[in-house]
């Protein structure tokens, strides 16, 4: 593109006339060549880490239950020691905000690290391509197989591949549902063909989604579906690490004899072997510069470095570089360049939210209370002219032990709270506790009619090895006219 002079066409039809074409085409299948090297090793490391966590976590047992269990039916979310209620949704929000800011930070500094190494789409594609590579062979063999007519060999290889893919997909779906139904129970009901209709649906749905996305859709997910790919231009600047082809060093490209002196024949370092194009999972030519399709997987770096080694040129014709380092020379990631305002802002916001998240999680009380004024009556007059208001307290036991609670009320001197009987809650139980608050006639007179502030103190009584915990919850007390 750069070598052509820029032509500014003014809507007039150029010679040759206009053709009518379809706006939809069936894309050609991309057969990436297998690649080895430093960055491929990194990707495989992340495949292992993420998948051990994903496939392993549901099997982990904690307090005689799954360590991670999102029990949607009873709306309790167990994460190791934590028992979360839907009211704790703010923590999920916090987690998502943290993820988003981490993504922004990593991307601003080092580009699409997430896409290239850790995104499930990349990770599962990597696994599926590994299967493909071992059953159908590498790029050329697969292209040949694609073109060949159906025979026993093709049937066996293709069928085997799809069988393995489907197995991985179904196992993924099974694992995913295992986060919502205890996976051992799920496994037992699977073996006895007793899966519930929704469990079966989600196992199949996630199985199919994994099979389809990692087996067939692949780069199309990144190119046409993923919103993250679409706002990369807002994430990048001149100091962001991107996978770059060093045009100054590489051009003019061209094949040459092993012994040729490149200076003498006027060629750059690029031997035009096309390996970088063949390994690219999105099928682009990185030598055309940064493109939105580039997911930053660095496969082209690995393969190009291998080729440079073979032809005994220095490595790094394709490398992680910043736009500035390519234009002006010098190291891409200098401290001065990394610590630019946007990075500092992302970092401080991330630290701030991360800190707040950790502190609020650590200080989270083992009970939760919502106070709701009784909807039936505002206030009522009881014996000796005393004024009574009725409340409902939803007490939520956020622990896995039976707990005893007591209630007190403050804010109005002499106010008395009464409940019927004891409040004892089973593990992770939530219950509405009706509670009446009375004040004396004199107190009511001195307060005057209207709405007054009161504070409920809900105390989780000391249990074995646990100290008392009191939670304050504000409400109002109505004195009628």
Partner 1 sequence: MSDFVSSGWSVFVAAITVVSLLACLALLVGASRRKVMAGDNTTGHVWDGDLRELNNPLPRWWAILFVLTVIFAGVYLVLYPGLGSFSGQLKWSEDGQYQAEMKKAEAELAPLYAGFSGMTPQALAGDPKARAIGERLFVNNCAPCHGSDARGSVGFPNLTDNDWLWGGTPEDIVKTITNGRVGNMPPIAAAVGSAEDVRNVANYVLSLSGSPHNNVAAELGKAKFVVCAACHGPEGKGNTAIGAPNLTDKIWLHGFGEETVVRAVTQGWHNEMPAQAGRLSEAQIRVLGAYVWSLSQSTAPAAVAR
For residue 227, with 0-12 CB atoms within 10 Å meaning exposed, 13-18 middle and 19 or more buried, which class applies? exposed
432 sits near partner 1 (criterion: CB under 8 A):
yes
Identity of the residue, 346 or 405, whose beta carbon is nearer to partner 1 in the bound complex: 405
Structure tokens at 449: 């009619």
467 sits near partner 1 (criterion: CB under 8 A):
no
Helix (H) or strand (E) holding 393: strand 386-397
Identity of the residue, 25 or 151, whose beta carbon is nearer to partner 1 in the bound complex: 25
Identity of the residue, 25 or 233, whose beta carbon is nearer to partner 1 in the bound complex: 25
Stretch that binds partner 1, among 3-11, 54-62, 317-325, 464-472 (CB under 8 A): 3-11
DSSP string, 327-380: HH-S-S--HHHHS-HHHHHHHHHHHHHHHHHHHHHHT--SEEEEEEE-SS-S-E
Least distance (Å) between residue 474 CB and partner 1: 17
Contacts of 402 (CB under 8 A, 6+ apart): 424, 425, 426, 427
Half-sphere exposure of 401 (CA within 13 A, CB side): 12
256 sits near partner 1 (criterion: CB under 8 A):
no
20 sits near partner 1 (criterion: CB under 8 A):
yes
Identity of the residue, 329 or 376, whose beta carbon is nearer to partner 1 in the bound complex: 376
Site for partner 1 in 36-65 (CB under 8 A): none
Least distance (Å) between residue 9 CB and partner 1: 6
133 sits near partner 1 (criterion: CB under 8 A):
no
Q: Among 263, 375, 464, 481, which residue interacts with partner 1 (rule: CB under 8 A)?
A: 375
Q: Which residues of 338-377 are buried (b: 16+ CB within 10 A; e: fewer)?
A: beeeebeebeeebeebeeebeeeeeeeebbbbebebeeee
386 sits near partner 1 (criterion: CB under 8 A):
no
28 sits near partner 1 (criterion: CB under 8 A):
no
19 sits near partner 1 (criterion: CB under 8 A):
yes
Stretch that binds partner 1, among 130-138, 235-243, 250-258, 418-426 (CB under 8 A): 418-426
Stretch that binds partner 1, among 254-262, 315-323, 348-356, 420-428 (CB under 8 A): 420-428
Sort strands 450-460 and 403-410 into parallel, antiparallel or unpaired.
antiparallel
Size of the site for partner 1 (CB under 8 A): 50
Least distance (Å) between residue 403 CB and partner 1: 16
Indicate if the alpha-carbon torsion angle 374, 377, 378, 382 is positive or negative.
Answer: negative
Cα-only R_g, the chain: 32
Q: Are 452 and 479 in contact (CB under 8 A)?
A: yes
Q: Among 290, 416, 447, 455, which residue interacts with partner 1 (rule: CB under 8 A)?
A: 416
Least distance (Å) between residue 406 CB and partner 1: 6
Structure tokens at 276: 């970088």
198 sits near partner 1 (criterion: CB under 8 A):
no
Contacts of 110 (CB under 8 A, 6+ apart): 240, 241, 320
Least distance (Å) between residue 368 CB and partner 1: 18
Stretch that binds partner 1, among 11-19, 131-139, 200-208, 341-349 (CB under 8 A): 11-19
Stretch that binds partner 1, among 102-110, 260-268, 347-355, 415-423 (CB under 8 A): 415-423
Q: How many of the other CB atoms lie within 10 Å of CB of 62?
A: 14
425 sits near partner 1 (criterion: CB under 8 A):
no
Q: Are 186 and 170 in contact (CB under 8 A)?
A: no
Using CA atoms, how far residue 384 sits from 193, 380, 414, 440, 477, in Å, is 67, 12, 15, 8, 18
Stretch that binds partner 1, among 133-141, 251-259, 355-363, 432-440 (CB under 8 A): 432-440
259 sits near partner 1 (criterion: CB under 8 A):
no
18 sits near partner 1 (criterion: CB under 8 A):
yes
CA dihedral 86, 88, 91, 96 (to 10 degrees): 20
Q: Among 249, 380, 386, 452, which residue interacts with partner 1 (rule: CB under 8 A)?
A: 380
Identity of the residue, 121 or 305, whose beta carbon is nearer to partner 1 in the bound complex: 121
Q: Among 254, 314, 365, 434, which residue interacts with partner 1 (rule: CB under 8 A)?
A: 434
Half-sphere exposure of 206 (CA within 13 A, CB side): 18
Identity of the residue, 102 or 394, whose beta carbon is nearer to partner 1 in the bound complex: 394
231 sits near partner 1 (criterion: CB under 8 A):
no
418 sits near partner 1 (criterion: CB under 8 A):
yes
Q: How far is CA 214 from the centre of its chain?
A: 17
Contacts of 257 (CB under 8 A, 6+ apart): none
Least distance (Å) between residue 229 CB and partner 1: 14
Site of interaction with partner 1 (CB under 8 A): 6-11, 13-27, 220, 224, 374-377, 380-381, 388, 390-392, 406-410, 416-422, 431-432, 434-436
């Amino acid at each position: 593109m750069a070598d052509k002079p820029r032509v500014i066409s003014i809507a007039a039809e150029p010679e040759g006339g206009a053709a009518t074409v379809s706006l939809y085409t069936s894309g050609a299948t991309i057969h990436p060549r297998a690649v080895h090297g430093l960055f491929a090793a990194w990707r495989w490391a992340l495949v292992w880490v993420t998948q051990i966590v994903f496939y392993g976590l549901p099997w982990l047992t904690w307090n005689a239950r799954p360590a991670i269990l999102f029990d949607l039916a009873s709306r309790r979310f167990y994460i190791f020691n934590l028992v979360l209620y839907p009211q704790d949704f703010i923590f999920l929000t916090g987690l998502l905000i943290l993820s988003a800011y981490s993504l922004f930070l990593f991307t601003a500094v080092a580009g699409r690290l997430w896409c290239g190494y850790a995104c499930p789409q990349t990770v599962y594609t990597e696994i599926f391509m590994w299967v493909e590579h071992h059953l159908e062979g590498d790029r050329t063999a697969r292209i040949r197989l694609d073109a060949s007519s159906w025979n026993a060999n093709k049937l066996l290889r293709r069928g085997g591949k799809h069988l393995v893919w489907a197995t991985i997909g179904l196992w993924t779906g099974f694992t995913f549902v295992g986060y919502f139904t205890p996976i051992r129970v799920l496994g037992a009901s699977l073996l006895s063909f007793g899966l519930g209709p929704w469990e079966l649906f989600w196992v199949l749905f996630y199985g199919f989604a994994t099979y389809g996305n990692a087996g067939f859709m692949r780069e199309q997910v990144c190119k046409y579906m993923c919103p993250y790919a679409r706002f990369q231009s807002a994430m990048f600047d001149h100091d962001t690490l991107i996978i770059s082809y060093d045009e100054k060093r590489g051009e003019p490209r061209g094949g040459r004899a092993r012994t040729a002196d490149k200076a003498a024949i006027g060629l750059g370092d690029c031997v035009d072997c096309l390996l970088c194009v063949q390994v690219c999972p999105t099928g682009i030519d990185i030598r055309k510069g940064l493109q939105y399709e580039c997911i930053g997987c660095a496969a082209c770096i690995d393969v190009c470095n291998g080729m440079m080694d073979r032809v005994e040129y220095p490595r790094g014709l394709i490398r992680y570089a910043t736009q500035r380092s390519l234009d002006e020379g010098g190291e891409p990631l200098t401290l001065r360049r990394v610590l630019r305002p946007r990075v500092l802002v992302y970092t401080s916001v991330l630290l701030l939210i991360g800190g707040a998240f950790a502190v609020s999680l650590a200080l989270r009380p083992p009970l939760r209370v919502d106070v709701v004024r009784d909807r039936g009556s505002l206030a009522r007059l009881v014996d000796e002219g005393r004024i009574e208001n009725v409340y409902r307290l939803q007490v939520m036991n956020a622990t896995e032990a039976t707990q005893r609670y007591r209630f007190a009320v403050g804010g109005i001197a002499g106010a008395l709270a009464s409940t019927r009987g004891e409040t004892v809650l089973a593990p992770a139980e939530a219950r509405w506790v009706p509670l009446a608050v009375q004040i004396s006639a004199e107190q009511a007179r001195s307060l005057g009619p209207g709405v007054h502030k009161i504070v409920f103190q809900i105390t989780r009584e000391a249990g074995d090895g646990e100290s008392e915990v009191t939670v304050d919850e504000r409400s109002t007390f109505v004195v009628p006219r």
